[in-house]
Structure 1
C-alpha cells in the first residue's frame, strides 16, 4: 500500500487562496490556537480535510471555514497522546 504524500503547509495555504478569504483566515486563526501536542502531520491532515470540504460545491468553502473555526474546540476533547 502506497501512502499519499501530505502537502506542505505552504501548499495548503496556496490551495486555500482559490476560495474566499475567510477559509484561509479561519485556518490561520484555528492553527494558532491548536494544542501544541498536535503533530505537524495531524495539522496537515486537518488542513487537507478542510480543503476537501471546500472543494465539494460552489459554496462549500463556507462549510470549510466553519470547520476550521470550530476545530480547536473539538480537538480540545480529543486525546492525541
Structure 2
C-alpha cells in the first residue's frame, strides 16, 4: 500500500469511528426520547440510525478494499 492509500484508509477509519460514536449518541437520545413518549421523533431517529448503519458498512468496505491493495501481488 502506498503512502497516499494508507493515509486515505487511516483518515476514513477515523471518520468511521466518529460516525460510530455519533450513532451511539443518537441511539441513546432516541431511547431517552421514546421513554418520554415522543414516538414520532423516536421513529424518525430510527430511520436516521438505519442510514448511518448502511453508510458505515459501505465505509468499512471501502477501508477494507484500500487496505487489501497492500496484499495484492504485483
Give the TM-score normalised by structure 1. Answer: 0.32
Whose radius of gyration is greater, 1 or 2? 2
Give the TM-score normalised by structure 2. Answer: 0.34
More helix by share: 2
